[in-house]
Chains A and B, each alone.
Chain A
Amino acid sequence: DAMVIQNPRYQVTQFGKPVTLSCSQTLNHNVMYWYQQKSSQAPKLLFHYYDKDFNNEADTPDNFQSRRPNTSFCFLDIRSPGLGDAAMYLCATSNGAESGNYEQYFGPGTRLTVT
């Protein structure tokens, strides 16, 4: 059974055209994360939500925004994609460190191509 779902799996957008990636979870986890992963590199955390509290990483460009309308869904908005934003975008969830469970559950990723 899918636990962290990302749609679409592949997304092609034009340079400068806004794009939204979506993530949903059936785990009822408090924390949802968005990572960017470029070829042969480690995932790079963009931001995360603890419940409704948004936590941005200091080096995440303003071009990247996120929304979490409810526990189950989280969106990544790229306002003006550049060629350098082409990457795999991974969504993950966790119960949060306070629960004593540090494991993160990842979705299959969305591969973004910018033309």
Chain B
Amino acid sequence: SQQGEEDPQALSIQEGENATMNCSYKTSINNLQWYRQNSGRGLVHLILIRSNEREKHSGRLRVTLDTSKKSSSLLITASRAADTASYFCATDKMATNKLIFGTGTLLAVQP
């Protein structure tokens, strides 16, 4: 399977703490994206990092990309209860319009 893997599978933290999720993938990419999914809902795009970028910020989100290790991390700073959701990384399948999703991390932020 080309599916990426994420760890941890589940993460429980207190409000105000930082949350870090990691993603590993297998093939060459143009870009890597992170999506959030609230329970029973569709996915929402959070951030995209291109293969020639190493770090990107958006609000409380920080994404890093290491193409030599085929890995990425998503850091959410100062977490809030509303950040409780599943987080998926997704890589583009080269020369296609398709994404390959990771296995996801379920984040629970306790108020």
Contacts and interface: CB of A to CB of B under 8 A. Distances in A.
Interface of A: 4, 6, 31, 40-43, 45, 48, 50, 88, 90, 92, 94, 96-97, 102-109, 111
Contacts of A6: 42
* Count class of interface residues, chain B: 20 to 34
Interface of B: 3, 30-31, 33, 35, 40-45, 48, 88, 90, 92, 95-99, 101-104, 106
B98 A45 contact: yes
A17 B92 CA distance: 35
Contacts of A102: 30-31, 33, 48, 92, 99
B42 A103 contact: no
A104 B99 contact: yes
Contacts of A94: 97
A96 B96 CA distance: 9
Contacts of B35: 106
B42 A106 contact: yes
Contacts of B45: 103-105
